[in-house]
Structure 1
Amino acid sequence: MKQFDITTDAEQLVGEVFTGLHSGGGRSSIPGGQTAANLALSNLQLRGYAKDRSEVLPLDSRGATVMSPYVRHNIISLSTLWDVAGKAPQYDRDKYRDELLWQEYARHLYARIGKKLFSNLRFEQTWDAPGDGWPEGMACVDFALDELHQDGWLVNQTRMWLASHWSVRNGKGWLHGQERMHQELIDGSRAANLLGWQWTVGSGNGKPYGFARWQVQKRAPELCGSCALKSACPIEKFPADRELSPVATDPLLSFDPSPEITTGPRVPVQVNKPDLVLLTIESLGDSDPAMAANPDLPVAFVFNEQALAKLQLSSKRIYFYLETLQDLATRRDLSVYLGDPVEFAKANKVAVTHAPVPSFGKFQTLAEVHPYPWLKLPHSGSVKSFSAWRGKLR
């Protein structure tokens, strides 16, 4: 376990502490931290969101809010955004809340089925040709990849373009494509990224999203006009329809026999009096329940060295985490380490907020566990589709 000074310049930390633990890629223009998140929230404008959320170019026509990096780490909660949306015009409010519910659906699904989300959920998707599914030369794909590599963030429309182009158009395995995207996205949630790819390539709903020139001309017409392939467009027409065969679905998609396990504790559970608060990557905001309940305790965060070595995330993601922790350190007594968070929890009496992800199950010796800040509590009914899940919400 190696402790380091979080107040050290982030570039120095990335170069010295995280050597060999990231894949490079610079720093995003989207800053991490509660202060940055609060500023983004204060500037949030939802008027016109429903109409413009899928616009790509020109940039000033975009309606996407760029709140997802803060939502992913619960720096800004879904509940906070739900309340803010109540002040927007009805159509924009309803559409934005639909998107918040989609994020919550992804969390519920992942909390229930865990790593099974890495497998085809409901329909067989057998594309698995070798090689890169994003060949260079098409202005639309190149533009989306440039944004992904530069800022680690994309509007939902271009995420769908890239996922469809990788698998539906070029026949590459969706798991490899989603891994490439997950490395770069500063809002890279396993739940949301896996679910988005499953639905785009058809393994979630049986209807692959066909990426074609029509979408580019509608959402970013200037890209077609400047493309070297505009007279011989590889995506001039939609890809041929393809019926996907249903797969044997996991019974957990239909019914959860233990929703209380999926949900986690509904009230704080204390085994011992904690000496400090341990934050996880799932909850880094000032309103983290464990941290809020223990305002006088010191706080710790442990970068998972083994996981970082395996995942080789973009340095943009490392910078975002460091910026978030550096910002928090201006308000709380914070210690930051590189090592194994599970071993750290074994060696210390920690209070932590429950996280609805498979890796949280590795924690066995926790002094105090606080409820996860759900927007909607998980239920035991079907999660086979967004509509089926939503219909069972209380």
Structure 2
Amino acid sequence: MKLLPTPDVGRAAAGAFVAAHLGHLVCDDVAGSVEFLGGQRAADAALAAFDVSGYARNRSEVLPVARRGASGLSPYIRHGLLTLPQVWQHVAGGPERDVKKFRDELLWQEFARHWYSRLGAKTRRGVRNALPPTTASDVAIGWDRRMACMNNTIGELTTDGWLVNQTRMWLSSHWSVRNGMAWQDGEDYFFRHLLDGSRAANRLGWQWATGAGSSQHYGFSRYQVEKRAKVLCNMCEVEPWCPINDWPANPPLNPITQPVELGRDPHGIRTSGPKHTVETRPADTVWMTAESLGLADPALRAHPELPVVFVFDEALLSGLQLSSKRLVYLTETLAELGETHQLELHLGDPVEVLADRAVAVTFAPVPGFRRRAEAVVPAETHPWPWLARPSNGSISSFSAWRKSVKVMRS
């Protein structure tokens, strides 16, 4: 275990902190996202600037960037700087068609959280179909950067740590459906670089695109590029012999035994967390996790006077080897939190660091949190701010899930 200094606010300070203390845990040279800053102020500014008008029409546009209707809020939602209920309410009163489409996307995010919280590691193999890879996974082959659509998209992923949903589907389909590579390896690559990378939304998206979690795949071809980013075809060196002129062949989808959890939830409160704060003893510390780093974190709001502890899980991060963009983003967020709260940063095992603390923490809908929390035994566990609280109903599909849950009122 190692107690780390509190970083100063700002990109340069965050980069220096990561290089000095976390550099052995990243897969690249230390640099922050070109497009996104971490922290509550950046999250609040992004939400205030988002106008839902035109979202339904423009959310899938890729280039030029000025035509994009995507909100760009997902990195802040991923780490709890913005909650789904908060963003849901932000668009109230906007054009009906745009509000409905945007809220459908928020519900998809919530569905992904329910899906992953219930299934956990079982999502790694696919939940409906096996998609046998035909070649060894290779980024250079899976995403040939001679193709302008691949080069531009991978460039955004590795420099910004973010992609519009349309290009995420392009990359997923091209990797697995057309090139026959294991979707799990492509999903790992996304997870490594995306600021909003989560095993919930990221893994569910890959399964949907490749057919591993649904009845059919998403086929990527030149048609989508010309429709959403024609300039890429105009500048592509392989345009005369475009390798994606035609639709990809249907990949083999071999049905597998579906987890029982798709139909019902045998875990109960372990999936959803408590409805009300559970207190076992007085708290002396607020434990913040990467799932909930915002100033509106329920445990933090309940105890603004207590010291705040965040632990960089060294063993976990060593295995993941994330892009430094993700750790710079987290450090920027934590540095800003340290301006208003007594902050302790540690590098090591969260269970060991927190062993002698009576922590107040906000439940997080990920299996890794549950395992650590059961070992730590929090003094207080605060409810997760669900947009739709998990039920015992089916999560076999988005439509089945939607029928079984109650969403907060507008």
In the alignment, which of 61, 68, 71 is matched to residue 62 of structure 1? 68
> Any idea what the Cα deviations from partners look like across 1:59-99, whole Å, max 9, x if unmatched?
10000010000000111000001111212100000000000
Q: CA deviation at 1:135?
A: 2.2
- Indicate the residue corresponding to 2:261 in structure 1: 252
* Identical-residue share of aligned pairs (%): 47
Does residue 1:16 correspond to 2:20, yes or no? yes
How far the C-alpha of 1:391 sits from its partner, in A, is 1.2
Gaps of at least 5 residues in structure 1 are: none
Separation in structure 1 between the aligned mates of residue 382 and residue 137 of structure 2, nearest angstrom: 44
Match 1:98 to one of 104, 109, 116: 104
Q: Would you say 1:302 and 2:311 are equivalent positions?
A: yes
- Does residue 39 in structure 1 map to residue 48 in structure 2? no
Following the alignment from structure 2 to structure 1, what is the Cα–Cα distance between the partners of residues 351 and 336? 24
Residues 193-244 of structure 1 show CA distances to partners (whole Å, capped at 9, x for unaligned) of: 1000000000111211111000000000000011011110000000123452
1:132-211 matches, cutoff 5 A:
132=138, 133-211=142-220
Equivalent residue, structure 2, for 1:367: 379
Provide the rounded CA distance (Å) in 2 between the counterparts of 1:259 and 1:309.
32
CA distance in 2, matches of 1:204, 1:318: 30
Residue pairs, 1:308-387, within 5 angstroms: 308-360=317-369, 361-363=371-373, 364=375, 365-387=377-399
Does the 8 Å CA contact 1:206/1:243 hold for their aligned counterparts? no
Unaligned residue ranges in structure 2 (runs of 5+) = none
Mapped to 1, the partners of 2:254 and 2:136 lie a distance apart of: 22
- Counterpart of 1:27 in structure 2: which amino acid? G
* 2:114 corresponds to 1:108: yes
Shift in Å, 1:134: 1.4
Once residues 254 and 389 of structure 1 are traced to their aligned partners in structure 2, the CA distance between those partners, rounded to angstroms, is 10
1: distance between equivalents of 2:145 and 2:68?
25
Q: Is residue 313–residue 349 contact of structure 2 (8 Å, CA) maintained in 1?
A: yes
The worse-fitting range, judged by mean Cα deviation, of 251-260 and 353-362 is 251-260
Give the conservation status (yes or no) of the 8 Å contact 1:258–1:380: no
Look up the match of 1:264: 273
Counterpart-to-counterpart distance in 1, 2:151 and 2:324: 21
Normalised by the length of structure 1, the TM-score is 0.98
Distance 1:95 1:131 in 2: 35
Displacement of 1:345: 2.1
Supply the AA of the counterpart residue of 2:2: K
The one of 373, 388, 392 aligned to 2:400: 388
Structure 1 residue 217 corresponds to structure 2 residue 222: no
What letter matches 1:5 in structure 2?
Answer: P
The structural deviation recorded for 1:125 is: 1.0
Instruction: Spell out, residue by residue over 1:367-389, the C-alpha distance to the aligned partner (whole angstroms, 9 max, x if none).
Output: 11111111110011110110110
- Contact 1:346-1:366 within 8 A present in 2 as well: no
Structure 1 window deviating more from structure 2 (296-305 vs 59-68): it is 296-305
Paired residues in the alignment total 394
- TM-score by length of structure 2 reads 0.94
Contact 2:283–2:358 at 8 Å: present in 1 too? yes
The range that moved more, 368-377 or 55-64, is 368-377
Query: In the TM superposition, what whole-angstrom CA distance separates every residue of 1:329-354 from its partner, at most 9, and x where no partner exists?
Result: 11111111111112122121111111
**Secondary structure at 1:7 match in 2:** coil
The alignment partner of 2:309 has SS state of strand
SS at match of 2:255: coil
Measured after TM superposition, the shift of residue 262 of structure 1 is 1.1
1:113 partner amino acid:
L
Q: 1:270 Cα deviation (Å)?
A: 1.2
Assess if the C-alpha contact under 8 Å between 2:309 and 2:344 holds in 1: yes
- Secondary structure of 2:355's aligned partner: helix
